[in-house]
A = this chain, B = another copy of it.
Amino acid sequence: MSGDDRKLDVLRAIVEDFVATREPVGSRAIVERHHLGVSAATIRNDMAQLEEEGYITHRHTSAGRVPTDRGYRLFVDQIADLKPLSSAERRAIERFLTGAVDLDDMLRRSVRLLAQVTQQAAVVSYPSLSRSSVRHVELVHLAPSRLMIVLITDTGRVEQRAADVPRQVDVDDIAVMRTMLNSALVGVRLSDSTSVVGMLPEAVDRSLRPVMSVLCALLFDALIEPAEDRIVIGGAANLTRNTQDFAHSLGAVLEALEEQVVLLKLVDEAVHPDGVTVSIGEENAAPGLRSTSVVAIGYGTDNRLGGLGVVGPTRMDYAANMAAVLTVARYIGRLLARG
């Protein structure tokens, strides 16, 4: 793009009108709806250049122009101010989120909220286990030789696993191990806990060692190693609103949204301190999402604890969605910090 301001204006006009009306926009329409102070013919010349540079296309010789992924990209990169939410919206968010009774509830509420505000499908990932630290570890006696270990993090996640242990244990054994686990782990980041957990079996009475080994293996395999983080999705129904945008690939989009792995990767990519991330159309790694755009961001300390975002047609209101995503992420971060 050779420094021509008006061409940028024209692109912006095309994107805005197309987003608003869903219809290809012609030179005449631009002259009428935006006062750029030039005639339709001039616009046409600019459009011809924009097309040559790959920012817009023609479906047919004689239909208006439509932005390409590349055009949206340029447009998004130009967005400076994220039209702030209305105060009514902010109040609604606050009211809705602070009513949550626990982490699960809060994340479910967030995802609904985000879906409703943006009118898109929304995704929220749980706070990453590896970046959380241990608040409490609990042992529960299920049967003479079967134990459940419950781990509670500072972000409010509660994870539990059960296993058979190689010998019967009594109440005292459990008390010993519980104390030990807690004194060793409370306050430790899960990502830093590998070595600590490894040492634990050494630290107990010989007779308890096999039992402790099983428990540590459980902790390790289930909670530390795999980083199998969870996500919540909502507002999938909103995708049908724009069904004509992704033609018949709606099925593919829904499948991608149900594929935890794909989504996790997606959200993870937004988990960095630099604010809102936008992936447009073909920029998305997941094949099912090639016809969509994803607006995502991390939340929590350094925006690194977890992520959230919305998925919608490339023809979306980027500025509004970016603002919504940002706002909700901030609220979640604040609520998590408060505990």
Contact = CB atoms under 8 A, between A and B. Distances in A.
Interface stretch (A230-238, A275-283, A298-306): A230-238
Given A135-B140, A136-B140, A222 B101 contact: yes
Q: How many copies does the complex hold?
A: 2
A250 interface: yes
A102 B162 contact: yes
Q: Which residue, A135, A140, A252, A257, has most C-beta atoms of chain B within 10 A?
A: A140
A239 B253 CA distance: 12
A102 B146 contact: no
A237 B156 CA distance: 31
B339 A143 contact: yes
Nearest to A141: B136
A74 interface: no
Interface residues of A, number: 36
A310 to B, nearest CB: 15
B235 A240 contact: no
Interface in A150-164: 150, 152, 156, 158-162
29 contacts: A101-B161, A101-B222, A102-B159, A102-B160, A102-B162, A136-B141, A138-B140, A138-B150, A140-B152, A142-B339, A148-B152, A150-B150, A150-B152, A150-B158, A156-B162, A158-B158, A234-B258, A235-B258, A236-B254, A236-B258, A237-B252, A237-B254, A237-B255, A237-B258, A239-B254, A240-B250, A240-B251, A243-B250, A243-B251
